[in-house]
Chains A and B, each alone.
Chain A
Amino acid sequence: MITAQIVVSGALMGLVYALVAYGFQLTYATSKSINFGQGELVMLSAFFSLTLLDWGVPYWLMVPGGLLFGVLLGLFVERAAVRLALEQKSEGWILLTIIVGLLGFSAAENIWGRDDRPFPTPISSDALHIFGVSITPVEISVAIGVFALMGLIELFKRKTLLGKAFEAVSADREAAELMGISATRTVMLSYGLSGLVAAMAGILVSPITTVGPTMASALILKAFSVAVVAGLDSGFGVVIVGIFLGSLESLTSFYIGSGWREAPGLILLILALAARPNGVFGKAGIRKV
């Protein structure tokens, strides 16, 4: 029973890693670039949503507001840090996204201060007991939110014209452009979606983690491990790896000791890179020279 409890608690944290990792995947698919400031996007969206709540905006109106803010941030990152670098076929986006992230961090410190603040939510945090496992409605909302958002985006990619363009650019950028699809706009779309995912992650985890400038710094490292272990182009693979890593962390800290909590994630990352450099669920790519 204890094991079940540990696995469930860990898996829920793992789902959050998976959601953030999914944000990495979205942009990697279309542009082979990653926003290294993704954690700051999570944090800024959470702060913005908290501010909306402070202004008296009701919770259910705050969610779309926060998500829209995330989309705008994503588009800003694309315009400011990624587009030019991609046009010049340089790797400049690595540094530029880190710099935009740092700017966001300083901005948050100056606007909202460095304190951790509670994030009010109408969802109860009184535990329910299901088959002897304690779980709070807030945690269930995280799980539902993660699956719903990822499901919707995957559906969008498969069923709509815009989504098909997205898939086409992911598959082969040059060929897609020859078919009349604007790669630039598709990359914009992917960064917008990635910002949306970050905002959702911020809104979902804030009631559990509290909101502060450093709230995502631990999260982002784990999410990065998850994305790399799962493979940067694997879609739902991140969910499986996320859940696995989250549970593994909790199990380690229970059975081996809380000092070893971070170890399995790192070992997993090294093993994955050594054995399957494209990720456990990644496709081995053929690179034509």
Chain B
Amino acid sequence: MKKIWVVLLMTGMLISPAWGADTIKIAITGPFTGGSAPMGASMRDGAMLAVTEINAAGGVDVNGRKMPFEVIERDDEAKNERGALIGQELASMTDLSGVIGSVNTGVVLAGDKYLQEKGITKIITPAAGSASMTQWSKAGVPELSIFRFAADDGIQSAMVVEDAIKRHFTKVAIFHDSTNYGVSGRDDLMNQIKKQGNKLQVVATEKFNIGDKDMTAQLLRAKAGGAQAILIWGIGPEMAAVSNGMAKIGMKVPLIGGWTLCMSNYIDNAGKNGDGTLMPQTFIEDPITPKAKAFIEAYHKAYHVTRIPSPVSAAQGYDAVYIFAAAVKQAKSTDTHKVKAALEDLREPVKGVIATWNHPYSKWNPADEQTHEAFRRAQVVMGVIKDGRVEFANESDRKQFIENAAK
């Protein structure tokens, strides 16, 4: 019996160190089940597509040696407490090069502090809540290992308000859910309305809880106030209930809101009532460029679907892995601290499916969280739902994107 243990121990000792040395170990975290799953699972699948491509080519060139990615997955179930546990677990791994993921702002707030403490590099995607990054500028940390790869709510809310003004609306209602994401979205919208010259009068500010299905009372308040559009911040199932409730009481005004309106659980549950819904998008499942075409086809083929559940998350997950790989290559090391330094000064452009990323991040400046934000207004467009698919809301944006890609 003793002999067996000795043998087991020895083989164990032989195998484990060999692992860490030859691979770039990263973690992908997000909600792979539950109401946010379309985003989490699409992000993971998009990221895994990139990992598979890179590994198939032998891996990333790290100081003259080809190293493949080794991925560990953690399902945070969109629960803040799970996020904290996963954050602690990942922070205790000494050979981890980095983390990619997180969909829910609450989960980010609960988990990222453990990673930051140990200086583990993380690229947040696709969580968009402003608080994920402003928590660090508010705390004034001198060094930050957390980066974001998503159009933050600041950009998104600016676009939503902009769109409402462009459509000559003067009275709007704001709807939001009671989560961190919904409440901070409401504040962003209010700020943007003020910033863009108070051209919109908010006739009702309404809250709903996760799981609420009867939105009649809230909608009637909006209707009584004469709202010409509803600006909304929440996740799929409840926003679908809002959409269906509007159809019921015969309220025909557009729903404009955060990018979560492109989630399949919004589109499926709202059905035809969802047509005409507007939201900012970083990627639209439309093969307008060769790169986008290849990505969409590869995704459909790899996961046997005809529609990506959340195209934005999938494309962001994909590009985030390539940016991370570029940083590892430039750092010539899998050490997470060196990868962070390389990310802050990425010299070579990274050709992604969303855009070509030129120096996406710069040295962290506590006074300006934009230093660790990759997306700018130019990389985001308005999308519209038509027959259950998200399309470009403005033909001019579509042309612009084709031109940019041709450059």
Which residues of A line the B interface, CB within 8 A? 2, 5-6, 9-10, 13, 109, 113-116, 118, 125-127, 129, 134-136, 208-210, 212, 214-215, 217-218, 250-251, 253-254, 257-259, 261-262
**Complex contact B248–A127 (CB within 8 A):** yes
**Complex contact B207–A259 (CB within 8 A):** yes
Nearest 10 pairs of A and B residues by beta carbon: A9-B216, A114-B33, A253-B217, A254-B217, A114-B34, A250-B217, A258-B207, A209-B213, A116-B237, A127-B248
Residue-wise, chain B 22-49 has the 8 Å CB interface mask toward A (1 for contact) of 0000000000011101000000000000
Rounded to whole angstroms, the CA-CA distance of A209 and B237 in the bound complex is 9
**Complex contact B208–A125 (CB within 8 A):** no
Give the nearest-CB partner of B34 in chain A.
Answer: A114
Cβ–Cβ < 8 Å partners of B237 in chain A: 116, 210, 212
Give the nearest-CB partner of A6 in chain B.
Answer: B217
Residue-wise, chain B 244-287 has the 8 Å CB interface mask toward A (1 for contact) of 10011110000000000000010011010000000000000000
Q: A125-B248, A250-B216, A251-B217 are in contact. List 17 more A-B contacts (CB 8 A).
A: A2-B220, A5-B249, A9-B214, A113-B33, A114-B34, A115-B265, A116-B35, A116-B236, A125-B244, A125-B247, A127-B249, A212-B237, A250-B214, A254-B220, A258-B218, A258-B221, A261-B217
Q: Can you identify 23 A-B contacts, CB atoms within 8 angstroms?
A: A6-B217, A10-B214, A10-B216, A115-B33, A115-B35, A116-B35, A116-B237, A118-B268, A127-B247, A136-B248, A210-B213, A210-B240, A210-B269, A214-B211, A215-B211, A218-B209, A218-B211, A218-B212, A254-B217, A254-B221, A258-B208, A258-B217, A261-B217
With contacts A115-B33, A115-B34, A115-B35 taken as known, whether A6 is within 8 angstroms of B220 at the C-beta atoms is yes
Cβ–Cβ < 8 Å partners of A259 in chain B: 178, 207
**Complex contact A134–B250 (CB within 8 A):** yes
Instruction: Kindly identify which residue among B34, B208, B216, B236 contacts A5, using a CB–CB cutoff of 8 Å.
Output: B216
With contacts A115-B35, A259-B207 taken as known, whether A6 is within 8 angstroms of B268 at the C-beta atoms is no
Rounded to whole angstroms, the CA-CA distance of A218 and B210 in the bound complex is 10
Cβ–Cβ < 8 Å partners of A125 in chain B: 244, 247-248
Cβ–Cβ < 8 Å partners of A218 in chain B: 209, 211-212
Q: How many A-B residue pairs have CB under 8 A?
A: 87
Cβ–Cβ < 8 Å partners of A5 in chain B: 216, 220, 249
With contacts A114-B33, A258-B206, A258-B207 taken as known, whether A10 is within 8 angstroms of B248 at the C-beta atoms is no
Which residues of B line the A interface, CB within 8 A? 33-35, 37, 77, 178, 206-209, 211-214, 216-218, 220-221, 224, 236-237, 240, 244, 247-250, 265, 268-269, 271
How far apart are A175's CB and chain B's nearest CB, in angstroms?
A: 45
Give the nearest-CB partner of B41 in chain A.
Answer: A115
Give the nearest-CB partner of B251 in chain A.
Answer: A134
Rounded to whole angstroms, the CA-CA distance of A217 and B213 in the bound complex is 13
**Complex contact B33–A13 (CB within 8 A):** no
Rounded to whole angstroms, the CA-CA distance of A284 and B35 in the bound complex is 45
**Complex contact A134–B37 (CB within 8 A):** no
Rounded to whole angstroms, the CA-CA distance of A150 and B259 in the bound complex is 44
Rounded to whole angstroms, the CA-CA distance of A109 and B247 in the bound complex is 31
How far apart are B179's CB and chain A's nearest CB, in angstroms?
A: 13
Cβ–Cβ < 8 Å partners of A212 in chain B: 35, 237
Give the nearest-CB partner of A129 in chain B.
Answer: B250
Rounded to whole angstroms, the CA-CA distance of A214 and B206 in the bound complex is 23
Rounded to whole angstroms, the CA-CA distance of A135 and B216 in the bound complex is 11
How far apart are B219's CB and chain A's nearest CB, in angstroms?
A: 10
Cβ–Cβ < 8 Å partners of A115 in chain B: 33-35, 37, 265
Rounded to whole angstroms, the CA-CA distance of A118 and B209 in the bound complex is 19
Rounded to whole angstroms, the CA-CA distance of A253 and B220 in the bound complex is 10
Rounded to whole angstroms, the CA-CA distance of A59 and B115 in the bound complex is 51
Rounded to whole angstroms, the CA-CA distance of A126 and B214 in the bound complex is 16
Cβ–Cβ < 8 Å partners of B35 in chain A: 114-116, 212
Rounded to whole angstroms, the CA-CA distance of A135 and B249 in the bound complex is 8
Most B C-beta atoms less than 10 A away, residue of A13, A136, A209, A253 = A253
Most B C-beta atoms less than 10 A away, residue of A134, A136, A214 = A134
Cβ–Cβ < 8 Å partners of A118 in chain B: 268-269, 271
Give the nearest-CB partner of A5 in chain B.
Answer: B220
Cβ–Cβ < 8 Å partners of A109 in chain B: 33
Rounded to whole angstroms, the CA-CA distance of A156 and B103 in the bound complex is 52
Instruction: Kindly identify which residue among A6, A210, A257 contacts B216, using a CB–CB cutoff of 8 Å.
Output: A6
Cβ–Cβ < 8 Å partners of A116 in chain B: 35, 236-237, 265, 269
How far apart are B22's CB and chain A's nearest CB, in angstroms?
A: 36
How far apart are B173's CB and chain A's nearest CB, in angstroms?
A: 11
How far apart are A239's CB and chain B's nearest CB, in angstroms?
A: 18
How far apart are B309's CB and chain A's nearest CB, in angstroms?
A: 10
Rounded to whole angstroms, the CA-CA distance of A166 and B356 in the bound complex is 74
How far apart are A269's CB and chain B's nearest CB, in angstroms?
A: 18
Cβ–Cβ < 8 Å partners of A13 in chain B: 214
Rounded to whole angstroms, the CA-CA distance of A13 and B245 in the bound complex is 13
Rounded to whole angstroms, the CA-CA distance of A259 and B221 in the bound complex is 13
Rounded to whole angstroms, the CA-CA distance of A210 and B266 in the bound complex is 11
Give the nearest-CB partner of B211 in chain A.
Answer: A218
How far apart are B371's CB and chain A's nearest CB, in angstroms?
A: 36
Give the nearest-CB partner of B269 in chain A.
Answer: A118
Most B C-beta atoms less than 10 A away, residue of A6, A135, A254 = A254
How far apart are A135's CB and chain B's nearest CB, in angstroms?
A: 8
Give the nearest-CB partner of B75 in chain A.
Answer: A114
Rounded to whole angstroms, the CA-CA distance of A13 and B178 in the bound complex is 21
Cβ–Cβ < 8 Å partners of B37 in chain A: 114-115
Rounded to whole angstroms, the CA-CA distance of A126 and B271 in the bound complex is 12
Give the nearest-CB partner of B176 in chain A.
Answer: A258
Rounded to whole angstroms, the CA-CA distance of A200 and B236 in the bound complex is 26
Rounded to whole angstroms, the CA-CA distance of A257 and B237 in the bound complex is 22
Rounded to whole angstroms, the CA-CA distance of A214 and B236 in the bound complex is 15
How far apart are B303's CB and chain A's nearest CB, in angstroms?
A: 16
Instruction: Kindly identify which residue among B178, B217, B247 contacts A9, using a CB–CB cutoff of 8 Å.
Output: B217
Rounded to whole angstroms, the CA-CA distance of A9 and B220 in the bound complex is 11
